[in-house]
Structure 1
Amino acid sequence: MTRSPRFTQAELEAARDRLVPDVVAGGLRVLFCGINPSLMTAATGHHFARPGNRFWPVLHLSGFTPRLLKPSEQRELLSYGLGITNVVARATARADELSAEEYVEGGRLLAEKVTRLRPAWLAVVGVTAYRAAFGERKAQVGPQERMIGDSRVWVLPNPSGLNAHWTAATMAEEFARLREAAQA
């Protein structure tokens, strides 16, 4: 088994504010949208790369992928009709380093991207980020009333290891609800 690369704190800090390319194509079944890249993601160039982030295991447990993918295999998602982007493009150590203005501008840019790419579903991983980006203060995890162009919106729990009140199993159940809706 290959281990994730080790970076010094200085190397991670050097990745601050770095942009990480989206994994996208037109007409995806689901476009997953993270809050913003972590420093580990920016250092590696791979989404959800931080050890302890449960995105990749939950994606597999929920049936979106036939096997557990490593962050370095992120482009394989396109073959399953899946992609990844972020609400805010710049990398930070923690999401609380982002300003309210960055979330709102990120929501505006995300809406433009979704309108252009036309995924069947936009899946925002993190209810707090969704609320901040789209001004939906009472949004809950699950399908939303909002549509962006022809794309439906689903809010998923944040897979960060810091989100302790969601287990990998309960997250996988919610991801599977989206997978089933996206197959319908």
Structure 2
Amino acid sequence: MQVLGDVVGPGLRVLFCGINPGLVSAATGHHFARPGNRFWPALHLAGFTPRVFRPDEQEELLGLGLGITNVVDKPSARADELTKAELIAGGENLVAKVLEYQPRWLAVVGVTAYRDAFNERKAVMGEQVRRIGETRVWILPNPSGLNAHYTLPKLAAAYAELEKVSSGAGGQ
């Protein structure tokens, strides 16, 4: 397994934050790499990307003002294998990363992970009251195929709300 590096730089419009790398992502070095993960199609359908990117094209997101990181760096087969302590420590590391890079938006993909990492039990999808420095925070549904409640059209619609707001089209 290799370390899954962040796709990040200064001045990002949105920094997407997964829960932790899956085993396929850790093995390939590419975020959201497991076949069946709907992150890349949802990004495209929401209007963030001009086409569906492959995981090995993740660096192209930077040119669009987008990036990717994770709450926890440790790979696992399922996010529910993480401990609450790992998520809390990951939340602290994420805050430091956001303060360093200062994206306009942090988009955490997974409400349960967000609740645990930031001890906000009542957090719901969408924009949060919390700010990290000047960075606004948004929670998106997890695009994993294990999150069957969200079909691809529902995921794309949720991601499109953030795309609209983050691009200034939503009355920011």
TM tier, smaller: over 0.9
Could you tell me which amino acid in structure 2 is paired with residue 78 of structure 1? L
Q: Secondary structure at the match of 2:100?
A: helix
TM-superposed CA distance for 1:96, in Å, is: 1.4
Q: Secondary structure at the match of 1:105?
A: helix
Instruction: String of CA shifts for 1:54-110, please: whole Å, max 9, x gaps.
Output: 000000000000001000000000000000000001111111111110000000000
How is 1:119-158 mapped onto 2 (pairs within 5 angstroms)? 119-158=103-142
Identity between Structure 1 and Structure 2 (%): 62
Q: Distance in 2 between matches of 1:171 and 1:20?
A: 24
TM-superposed CA distance for 1:19, in Å, is: 2.2
How is 1:1-184 mapped onto 2 (pairs within 5 angstroms)? 15=1, 18-184=2-168
Q: Distance in 2 between matches of 1:159 and 1:96?
A: 15
TM-superposed CA distance for 1:183, in Å, is: 1.0
Could you tell me which amino acid in structure 1 is paired with residue 31 of structure 2? H
Q: Distance in 2 between matches of 1:148 and 1:105?
A: 16
Could you tell me which amino acid in structure 1 is paired with residue 118 of structure 2? F
Q: Secondary structure at the match of 1:146?
A: strand
Q: Distance in 1 between matches of 2:144 and 2:129?
A: 25
> Counterpart in 2 of 1:6?
none
Structure with larger Rg? 1
Which structure 2 segments of 5+ residues have no match?
none
Q: Distance in 2 between matches of 1:74 and 1:129?
A: 23
Q: Distance in 1 between matches of 2:155 and 2:101?
A: 26
| TM-score, scaled to structure 1 | 0.90
Could you tell me which amino acid in structure 2 is paired with residue 140 of structure 1? V
Q: Distance in 1 between matches of 2:157 and 2:79?
A: 25
Following superposition, which runs of at least 4 residues in structure 1 exceed 6 angstroms of deviation? none
Could you tell me which amino acid in structure 2 is paired with residue 139 of structure 1? A
| TM-score, scaled to structure 2 | 0.96
Instruction: String of CA shifts for 1:108-156, please: whole Å, max 9, x gaps.
Output: 0000100110000000000001001000101111000000000000000
